[in-house]
Copies of this chain bind each other. A is one copy, B any other.
Amino acid sequence: MLNINTKKSSIITLLLFIFFVPYISTSSSFAQKREEINLETLLDETASAAGEMPGDMKFQYEMAELLGERVGPDDSGSVHHAGGLSSFYTGPEKLFPGKGTYGHLFNFLPVIRWYDPAHYYNNDIFHPGSTVEGEFVNTECVTCHMVESPGIVKQWKQSKHSKPSGGEGVVGCDRCHGKNHKKLIMPSYDICGECHEKQLQGHRQGGQGSHANAYHLELIELGCQTEKPAEETTACLGCHVVENRCDGCHTRHRFSLTEARKPNSCAVCHSGPEQYEYEMYMQSYHGMIFQGEGQTWDWTKPLNAENYTVPTCAYCHMPEGDHNVISTSTVYTYMGTSLVDRGADRYKATRDAWIAVCKDCHSPRFARDHLEAMDEAVKLSFVKYREAMRIVMDLYNHNLIDPMPAGLAPDSTGHNVFSLLPGKGEMRKYNVSNIERLAYEMLVDIIDAIFKAKSHNAYYSPVYGYWEWAQDRWLIMIKDEASKLKRIAEIEKKIGIKHSAYSFWKQGEYTDLLLGWKRKE
């Protein structure tokens, strides 16, 4: 074991600067509580001796000594206060293999079986089994599940599936899940499509940017799936599942059209960074009027100007219930991050289609003027991005970015050189230099926000973005960062210091995991 006593006083000095230690107090009841923690978390020398720990364990031992906590993997349920600095990551017990081109490089947590059921749930190999045996029909299912899971039975009873209006038969549990309780099926879109043919067709016809490409294309092939450990990508899956399952929009077991007409239905996924559609709509007059009175409207009626005071998401993006949500799209620009003149002649038809929607309540000239304002605001946002990128490129060409690509851990394809040519590399937004990340944000977070703000007529966001005049703010940060990098480099050059990126850019407990697939090979 390391001699860490000499370091103890200095480390002890630092630690409480940083973490929140609620149990520090002179009152006796807390002192006593602290003792208990010490007793139950004595340094586990056995575990450390067993050599089950990664690389350099000095840091963990220092922390363990200081905090009186255990070193190493701890699945005992002990609470490690102050951020758990002494223990380390053990990882999930069971992982399911990845899919697609890079399937051999990543894994999924078991929760994937609910998100991609056709492949991971209904597939024999991964079928999780069931504790109940036998074949059952709907009435039998309902009898049991009225007790076992009363909520879904109630919801199903509220749905059209339980009381069809047009003479069709009841769509019961067994219709979608099968009869054999040992081989229950989790339905994907194809099962729903057996009855809802037109909707399925619309859903599947969408090109890039549509729901039909959200999982296999956007997430599996192009998304963060290959860049991140399984533990982090579950949340991504939650939304990208919309390709596979209809209950992304019509939640089970009401499968309600009324629900999907409300902006809240879309908002589960279309909100938050990069996907601010909901927030932008909600800021607009349309959204504020919806917020002020929407719950008093009769949502069972079709979305049109006769029935609704203001449009909702589906009113504009799914006219007549068209389930191809990009039918109305002018041009695919990856969340607005590609520069394009949406007012160009070649987009006349789609622009006119938009104006026809606005014309329910606005003059065509009003609509055109606002669409032009969107075009110009978005184009201007790219001007700021180019000003920033010119500065970043200049730094790069003079070898002044810290760290330069060679100073980083390799990417998920094993390269330190990136390329636009297929298969030669990939984009990265993690573990890069600060200035590169700032430039990335200026494009993907802020231009995206401006586009979505203007297209939904949000009021404060096109001005401010995330922060007051966000792009201007980022431009200041980029110039400031470039100034510092250049000044420091000039100084180093003059006094003969040859700087190279510090090793923490190449390696670290998390950074190693990020590329874990590669290191395992």
B79 touches A18 (CB 8 A): no
Q: Does A25 contact B (CB under 8 A)?
A: yes
Given the complex, which residues of B lie within 8 Å of A393, measured CB to CB?
11, 14, 59, 62
Number of interface residues of A (CB under 8 A): 214
Q: Mark each residue of chain A from 362 to 397: 1 if its CB lies under 8 Å from any CB of chain B, else 0.
A: 110110011011001101101111110111110011
* Residue with the greatest number of chain B CB neighbours at <10 A, chosen from A208, A229, A369: A369
Interface residue from B114, B148, B265, B483 paired with A359 (Cβ < 8 Å): B148
Map CB proximity to B onto A417-440 as digits: 1 under 8 Å, 0 otherwise: 111101101111111111011011
Give the residue among A30, A154, A373, A397 with the most B Cβ atoms within 10 A.
A373
Distance between Cα atoms of A80 and B151 in the complex (Å): 49
Minimum distance in angstroms from A186 CB to a CB of chain B = 10
- Contacts A85-B385, A149-B359, A482-B502 known; list 15 others, CB within 8 Å: A14-B401, A14-B418, A17-B418, A21-B427, A24-B425, A76-B341, A83-B337, A84-B386, A89-B382, A231-B377, A234-B462, A235-B453, A275-B460, A431-B472, A495-B495
Distance A423 CA – B334 CA, assembled complex (angstroms): 45
A372 to B155 Cα, complex, angstroms: 26
Chain B residue with minimal CB distance to A462?
B235
List A182-238 residues whose CB lies under 8 Å from chain B: 208, 218, 221-222, 229-232, 234-236, 238
Please name the residue on chain B nearest to A473 by beta carbon: B437
Is A172's CB within 8 Å of the partner chain B? Answer: no
Could you tell me the distance between the alpha carbons of A264 and B67 in the complex, rounded to whole angstroms? 39
Q: Which of A4-25 contact B (CB under 8 A)?
A: 7, 9-25
- Complex Cα–Cα for A386 and B86 (A): 9
Bound together, the chains give a CA A259 to CA B513 distance in angstroms of 47
A402 adjacent to chain B (CB < 8 Å): yes
User: For residues 444 through 503 of chain A, which have their beta carbon under 8 Å from a beta carbon of chain B?
Assistant: 444-445, 447, 453-454, 457, 459-464, 466-469, 472-473, 475-477, 479-480, 482-484, 486-488, 490-492, 494-495, 497, 499, 501-502
How many Å lie between the Cα of A441 and that of B473 in the bound state?
A: 10
Q: CA separation between A332 and B366, bound complex, in Å?
A: 36
Of all chain B residues, the one with the shortest Cβ separation from A443 is B83
**A387–B346 CB distance below 8 A:** no
| Residues of B with C-beta under 8 A to A167 | none
Q: Contact between B488 and A419 (Cβ–Cβ < 8 Å)?
A: no
Q: Which residues of B contact A341 (CB under 8 A)?
A: 74-77
Q: Are A340 and B477 in contact (CB under 8 A)?
A: no
Which residues of A289-347 are within 8 A (CB) of B?
289, 291-296, 305-306, 309, 331-334, 337-342, 344-347
Expressed in whole angstroms, the Cα–Cα distance for A499 and B74 within the complex equals 42
Residue A272, interface by CB 8 Å = yes
Known contacts A18-B436, A331-B79, A427-B17: does B66 contact A420 (CB below 8 Å)?
yes
